[in-house]
Structure 1
Amino acid sequence: MSKRDLIIEKSIEILSERTIASTSIQDITNACGISKGAFYLSFKSKEELLIAIFEYILRDMTAKYQRLLNLQLEPREKLTQYFMLSFQLFEENSSFISTHVRELIYIVDKDVIEKIHDHFRVADHMTLTILREVYDSKINDSQYDLLICIRGMMKGYAEFIVMQKQTIDYYELSKLLVKRIDTLVEIDAQPLITKEMYEKNPRNCMHTQKEDIIVEIENCKDNYADNSFITDTFKLLLDELQKERPRKALLLGMSSNLTSSNHLRWLAVLVKQYSNEI
């Protein structure tokens, strides 16, 4: 685990019960067993740390979805597991996010917002991938309408669970959602949201570019300068991405080298998605 990841994980434990304002950098460094100097090598301030935590949580969620996509499951069961994982992740992180979201609103900038949109874009891509596995050509025209319907159903159930403080069997709920989607797929109605409409917003573009991977590698380099295995992986990836036709097998092999660190799992997701698109 890198020092940056250590600081983030310990801070999540501390900040699950306290605000950022009532937590000092000394509190954080004491929990990590590091000096303040070591903290400032990774983060300039508590505010920068809070942004990094939110991004860390989003990356962890995305990595878990990617692992689910990689499983050799029957497609309908994979869709059920996808919903169940979504509710579990919501339950695990809702307390921290609800406690600190207002603090985050006041400190985010344009670049941070773009990163958050990147995560939602990838999440949409994963949802569509599973839907296509289950329903194949049946949803060629309706997949984007289905995507929006799914967002609405999941948001509605999540709000009900939180606001009503209800205990619900997530697996049974997930199976119910799959049945609801079956009904939507079979409905004989002209879909409203087309691919062109959905991708009119560049943020919704489903294609991962090699430039996205290169930028992410550059952002991660300094944190792994003392890890020869990771730095060699970075170099191999960068060298391969410079080629006109990067080799898919090599990229996929390198992506598996990145899954040992939470901070790198987002990079692994980008590499895998790019590999599957070339």
Structure 2
Amino acid sequence: MPKKQLIITKAIELFAEKGFESTSIQEITEKCGISKGAFYLSFKSKEELIFSIVDNFMMGITNDIDRVVSSEVPNEHKFFTLYTIMFQSLESHSKFALIFVKEQMLHVNKNLFEKIAFYDQQFSASLLKLIDTVYGSSVEPIKYDLLLCIKGNLKGYSEFLITQKVPIDIASLSHSLVDKTNAIAYNATVGYVTEEMFNLRCISTENTITLQHIIEKITQLLKTNDDQLETESLVILLEQLQTERPSQAIMKGMMNTLKQYPRCKLLISGLEQLLEK
């Protein structure tokens, strides 16, 4: 196993057992059987290691949803496919997931909290795209309530399965969640959460959005895109962000073009925050 992957694997085991804050670099290196110098050749700090784990895990989840949205799977089967992928991932990464069940109060590390909050926005944006694809305009009055119910079910069932350590019948569980999702989508008529209310919950501190976050989101969007105009606009935007002196005019032009694509909504919002700094 490559050294970097070894560090990540052993660190996850320790984090799951002791938590982020209580695990030291010394303990990680001892579990890996390496020196501290070897650790620092791979990661500058424990925080960078944690961020690397979170990036890989959270980007994997949002990429999975985007792949389901753009896949040729019939719309009526897309949520079953999503739930199946999500719980397969949970089963494969149960030790990592356990960290977040144990450490609910992630404000002990502000940077980590902000990073996860940013990815939660991406997760919500991808789920909204899936809701639009599967149910269309018929769920518009309850769309954000439906989103919160889907996220709540995923969180609740994940925590139950992790903490109770019960065997997972993924197919049965996915069918059960599809049934609940459809029940709300097809039968609920009165919504409570509006788009404005939902967007107010998003954290908007100066440190939430960084250039690296934006570049990661563009890269993610490019991997799951088949629209030529959207692709060209994202590529030009990425090129500008990676130059020493990006053109504000070109960037704003690309942002205006991308506003027609719902899945780029979070990207545009993040860029606008970044440009205001």
* TM-score, L = length of structure 2: 0.65
Residue deviations 1:86-134 (CA, integer Å, cap 9, x gap): 2122222231342587689689532321111011111111111111111
1:246 to 254, 260, 272: 254
Matches within 5 A, 1:73-222: 73-99=73-99, 109-203=109-203, 214-216=211-213
Higher relative contact order (CA 8 A, sep 6+): 1
Letter in 1 for 2:88: Q
Residue in 1 that maps onto 2:27 = 23
1:143 and 1:103 map into 2 onto residues whose CA distance is 30
Letter in 1 for 2:203: R
Residue in 1 that maps onto 2:260 = none
Structure 1's unaligned 5+ residue stretches are 205-210, 220-232, 250-269
2:44 paired with 1:44: yes
CA RMSD of aligned residues (A): 4.1
Aligned length: 230
SS in 2 for 1:199: helix
Letter in 2 for 1:183: A
Of 173-182 and 159-168, deviating more is: 159-168
CA drift at 1:136: 0.6
CA drift at 1:143: 0.7
CA contact (8 A) 2:80 2:175 kept: yes
Letter in 1 for 2:79: L
CA contact (8 A) 2:142 2:191 kept: yes
Residue deviations 1:123-151 (CA, integer Å, cap 9, x gap): 11111111111111111110111111112
1:77 and 1:160 map into 2 onto residues whose CA distance is 25
Structure 2's unaligned 5+ residue stretches are 217-236, 258-262, 269-277
Q: 1:236 to 1:26 in 2, by over 3 A?
A: farther
Q: 1:94 to 1:152 in 2, by over 3 A?
A: same
Of 43-52 and 113-122, deviating more is: 43-52
Q: 1:203 to 1:13 in 2, by over 3 A?
A: same
Residue deviations 1:233-261 (CA, integer Å, cap 9, x gap): 96466468751423999xxxxxxxxxxxx
CA drift at 1:181: 1.8
